[in-house]
Amino acid sequence: MEKILEKANVLIESLPYMRKFSGRTFVIKYGGAAMVDNKLKDAFAQDIVLLNFIGIKPVIVHGGGPKINSIMEKMGKKPVFVQGQRVTDEETVDIVEMVLGGLINKQIVSLINSHGGFAIGLSGKDGNLIKAKRKVIKKLSPETGVPEIIDLGLVGEVEEINPKILNTIEGSGFIPVIAPISAGSRTETLNINADYVAGEVASALKAEKLILLTDTEGILNKKEKLISTLNSKKITSLVANKTISGGMLPKVQACQTALSNGVKKTHIIDGRTPHALLLEIFTEKGIGTEIVK
């Protein structure tokens, strides 16, 4: 009886959140271990289907870095990253498009559909969803102290999101699953960091939440302790003192972009925890790091 009552209490605790978020759009960046471990993959798909059934509109943007790395290494290519972003030559971008737009995207769609959902796979090329240009980043030269341009190759930067196709899909009750690739001004394929795409999509849709799944508890302080809540101002100082660095940089930048464009809350949570989405959305304490404006 105690276990049955415990289940009832969980449902009662989640009721206010179900009522509050019904009809709202959540953009979810799916990546890391949650895309690799079969039990976590099933738990993620179940969470998405549940959200959809209770009236929340999930939009998924997915990564696929580990799989891309694996295939690159099998082909004798070594993955290279600068400031958390993949250096992408012509051969690499073909691998990226094959893995993200083909293999992984369709696996996610099939998994959600197998649990009773109705998902549709897209890339940034579909319906002119993502307008992009080549990304330019600069780094101070240690010798001269002068900023140098770093060539990332066929790496894209979002210029604009055209939400028309997403609005159409959502309005029909389907769940969009987006691969973060697009075409540049010369129709060349561009590889775009999935965190940045998620932030821009959340901004364009005026989403209620942006949630990013990662392979850590959230943002950790210098003592490796979880920081449960942050604002944009505090993030700036944590980046400056290198508490936030590497692969976490695109995530916090995506959160800042979303918050500055009307998204109410952003979250970085541990995708290694089964049903992490439900725990973050429908419980009072939640998990991970919540970032607010």
**Assigned architecture for domain 30-292:** 3-Layer(aba) Sandwich (3.40)
Residue 102 DSSP one-character state: I
Four-point Cα dihedral 34, 40, 46, 49, nearest 10: 10
Residues 154, 188 contacting (CB under 8 angstroms): yes
Per domain, the residue ranges of the chain are: 30-292
What crossing angle do the helices spanning 248-260 and 232-240 adopt, rounded to 10°?
Answer: 150
Q: 157-208: per-residue pLDDT in tens? A: 999 999 999 999 988 889 999 999 998 888 899 999 999 999 999 999 999 9
Give the pLDDT score at 104.
95
Tracing tokens 């991970």 back to the chain, one arrives at 288
Give the pLDDT score at 5.
66
Best CA proximity match to 288, nearest among 198, 208, 219, 225: 219
Residue 164 DSSP one-character state: H
pLDDT band of 18, cuts 50, 70, 90: confident
Mean pLDDT, the chain, integer? 90
CB-based burial label for 25 (10 Å; 0-12, 13-18, 19+)? buried
Give the pLDDT score at 142.
66
Whether the predicted pLDDT of 10 surpasses 90: no
Q: 46-64: per-residue pLDDT in tens? A: 999 999 999 999 999 999 8
Give the pLDDT score at 176.
97
Q: Name which residue leads in pLDDT, 209 or 36.
A: 209
Whether the predicted pLDDT of 145 surpasses 70: no
pLDDT band of 4, cuts 50, 70, 90: low
What does each C-alpha distance from 91 to 79, 82, 96, 216, 222 come to in angstroms?
A: 12, 18, 9, 31, 39
Lowest average pLDDT, out of 70-74, 136-140, 260-264, goes to 136-140
| pTM of this prediction exceeds 0.85 | yes
Q: 223-252: per-residue pLDDT in tens? A: 889 999 998 888 888 988 888 888 888 899
The structure tokens listed for 80 are: 């290279």
